[in-house]
Amino acid sequence: MMSTVRGTALLGFKEFSVSQGIDPDSALAEVHLPEDPLNAQLSGAQFNALVELCAVRSNNPLFGLQFGLRQGTQSLGTLLYAMRSTAHVGEALNLLTRYFHIHSDGALVRLERQAGSALLLYEVTDGTLVSVRQTVELAMGIAACLLRELLGHAWKPRALMLRHCAPANRIAYRALLGVPPRFDSPFNAWVFDESLLAIPLEATDTRCQQLAQQHIDELARVTLQELPSYVQKRLRNELANGPVTLRDMAVYMMISPRTLQRYLRAQGTRFQELLDDTRQAMAARYLCDSSINLTQLGSLLGYADLSTFSRAFTRWYGISPQKWKQRMQHTHR
């Protein structure tokens, strides 16, 4: 299923592209986007292709990250306004995770707590995209600006986790972000002290709070996503913990397995088909963007062993995962 991104995700794109020696109109045309994309609804594939293209055109592997840092939080629009009207940082980030799909329905933002650390995680969920390095780093740049804006001087990240493999020049990341990323991680996330979530935000006046609440209510009316897309997002979250069955998904959604399957059939699909598509997309992305070994990858996708994963992969692509990865590496070179 094709994902969409709001045109505001390209705020400041033209100015930044010119600073990188790129003709922005030519780049937009090459990925079939209009010269004025800000009021358009972009496909996730177009947005991803544009950022990847610009990284190549500018000969700057940090294009996405630097664009995200330059753009900052302005692309979040009224959602940022609603976040600022919450009581504390944790509540603001929970609001972001709940309504981020309004800005991009091809990605997922989560907030988790682990052993005294908070993790703000970002995952591209559009299964049609293979290499998403630039898009991920752009999003993590925006997230850094958001956390700095909410926390001020208290913002001291413990780590930046990135799932893709390390580039040749790691030093530039520290200069831009203050910390060197940990590449080849199992997820993309900013990691920071959990206690920072309790930091209160400056109170806004009553009228501001009313406007923010109206905006939240408007967002709530569109949170019922198309069921297949919702199931796939849940699968991406849960597969790393082991196999996910139709019953598991139905229990999570508090409906019967039969009802869930009936709803999916009404949308022209089945649970097993969604599970297969999700695993296929995740496998391709990990093999393209990461140096994770095949045994680990099979486990992350919920397979019992490597041979089962390899058989599934060969069914999808007609060749083994080892040969597929070699072919992709040759293509990129």
What pLDDT is attached to residue 114?
Answer: 92
Write the DSSP assignment of 232-272 as a string of letters: HHHHHHHGGGS---HHHHHHHHTS-HHHHHHHHHHTT--HH
pLDDT digits (tens, 9 = 90+) for 259-278: 788 878 888 889 999 999 99
Q: For residue 138, which of 101, 164, 102 has the smallest C-alpha distance?
A: 164
Yes or no: say if 120 and 128 are a contact pair by the CB < 8 Å rule. Answer: no
What pLDDT is attached to residue 125?
Answer: 85
Q: For residue 121, which of 105, 109, 136, 134 has the smallest C-alpha distance?
A: 109
State the chain's mean pLDDT as an integer: 86
- Give the other-Cβ count within 10 Å of 152's Cβ: 9
What pLDDT is attached to residue 138?
Answer: 97
146 contact partners, CB below 8 Å, separation of at least 6:
73, 76, 80, 96
CA 23 – CA 266 distance, rounded (Å):
46
Give the DSSP letter of residue 109. Answer: E
CATH topology of domain 227-332: Arc Repressor Mutant, subunit A (1.10.10)
Average pLDDT of the segment spanning 209-226? 53
Average pLDDT of the segment spanning 266-292? 87
pLDDT digits (tens, 9 = 90+) for 91-146: 999 989 888 877 788 888 999 999 999 999 999 988 888 789 999 999 999 999 99
CA 45 – CA 163 distance, rounded (Å):
20
Yes or no: say if 298 and 309 are a contact pair by the CB < 8 Å rule. Answer: yes
- Give the other-Cβ count within 10 Å of 322's Cβ: 12
Q: Which two tokens stand for residue 332?
A: 């990129």
Q: Which two tokens stand for residue 292?
A: 């994770």
Yes or no: say if 190 and 160 are a contact pair by the CB < 8 Å rule. Answer: yes
Q: Which two tokens stand for residue 272?
A: 């097993």
Give the DSSP letter of residue 118. Answer: E
Look at residue 79 and tell me whether its pLDDT is greater than 50: yes
CA 80 – CA 70 distance, rounded (Å):
17
Average pLDDT of the segment spanning 29-39? 90
What pLDDT is attached to residue 224?
Answer: 37
Give the residue with greater pLDDT, 224 vs 196.
196
Q: How confident is the model at residue 42 (pLDDT cuts 50, 70, 90)?
A: confident
Give the residue with greater pLDDT, 189 vs 295.
189
CA 205 – CA 202 distance, rounded (Å):
10
Look at residue 222 and tell me whether its pLDDT is greater than 60: no
Look at residue 206 and tell me whether its pLDDT is greater than 90: no
Write the DSSP assignment of 43-80 as a string of letters: EHHHHHHHHHHHHHHTT-TTHHHHHHHHHTTGGGTHHH
pLDDT digits (tens, 9 = 90+) for 132-184: 999 999 999 999 999 999 999 999 999 999 999 988 888 899 999 999 999 99
User: Range(s) for CATH 1.10.10.60 in the chain?
Assistant: 227-332
Q: Can you tell me which residue has the tokens 């804006």?
A: 149
What pLDDT is attached to residue 89?
Answer: 96
Bridge partners (DSSP) of residue 159 are 191
What pLDDT is attached to residue 111?
Answer: 95
45 contact partners, CB below 8 Å, separation of at least 6:
2, 3, 126, 128, 129
CA 114 – CA 12 distance, rounded (Å):
36
230 contact partners, CB below 8 Å, separation of at least 6:
none
What pLDDT is attached to residue 221?
Answer: 46
